[in-house]
Amino acid sequence: MSTPPPVPLRVALVNGSFEQPSVTDMAFLPDASQPQAPRHVPGWLTTATDHMIELWHSGFNGVPSAEGEQFAELNANQVSTLYQDLPTTPGTKLYWRLYHRGRQGQDTMALDIGAPGSEVEQRTFTDGNTAWGYYTGVYTVPAGQTTTRFAFRSVSAAGGNRGIGNFLDGVFFGTAPHVVLTKTAVPAGPLDVGDVVTYRITARNEGGGAAERLTLTDVLPPGTTYVPGSLRVVDGPNTGVKTDRAGDDQAAYDSGSNTVLFRLGTGASASQGGSLANTAALPQGTTVEYRVALGLRTAGTRVANTAVATYENRLGETPELLTSSSEEAVTEVRPAADLDVTKAVDATAVTVGQTVTYRLTVHNAGPSPATGVTVADRLPNGLAFLSADADVGAYAPETGQWSVGELAVGARATLTLRAKATRPARLTNTATVTAAEKDPDPADNTDSVTICVEPAPACCTPCVPRS
Concatenating the DSSP letter of every residue in 203-255 gives EEE-SSS-EEEEEEEEEPPTTEEE-TT--EEEESTTTT-B--STTSSSEEEET
What per-residue confidence (pLDDT) applies to 317? Answer: 83
Angle at 238 between CA 237 and CA 242, to 5 degrees: 140
The neighbouring-strand residues paired with 207 are none
> Which of 49, 65, 56 lies closest to 22 in space, CA to CA?
56
Helix (H, G, I), strand (E, B) or coil at 458: helix
What per-residue confidence (pLDDT) applies to 431? Answer: 97
Q: What is the DSSP letter of 456?
A: P
What is the rounded CA–CA span in Å between residue 250 and residue 266? 11
CATH T-level topology, domain 337-460: Immunoglobulin-like (2.60.40)
What per-residue confidence (pLDDT) applies to 429? Answer: 95
Given a cut of 70, the residues of the chain with pLDDT beneath it are 1-9, 241-248, 456-467
Domains 26-174 and 179-332 are alike in CATH topology: no
- Which one is the CATH code of 26-174: 3.30.2230.10, 2.60.120.260, 3.30.930.10, 3.40.1160.10? 2.60.120.260
What per-residue confidence (pLDDT) applies to 75? Answer: 86
Give DSSP secondary structure letters for 110-150. Answer: EEEEESTT--EEEEEEEE-SSS-EEEEEEEEPPTT--EEEE
What is the CATH code of the structural domain delimited by 179-332?
Answer: 2.60.40.740
pLDDT in tens, 333-355: 999 999 999 999 999 999 999 99
pLDDT in tens, 371-424: 999 999 999 999 999 999 999 999 999 999 999 999 999 999 999 999 999 999
What per-residue confidence (pLDDT) applies to 241? Answer: 63
pTM for this model (two decimals): 0.80
Q: What is the DSSP letter of 300?
A: T
Give DSSP secondary structure letters for 407-422. Answer: E-TT-EEEEEEEEEE-
What per-residue confidence (pLDDT) applies to 208? Answer: 93
What per-residue confidence (pLDDT) applies to 242? Answer: 59
Q: Report domain extents, the chain.
A: 26-174, 179-332, 337-460
What is the rounded CA–CA span in Å between residue 330 and residue 325? 15
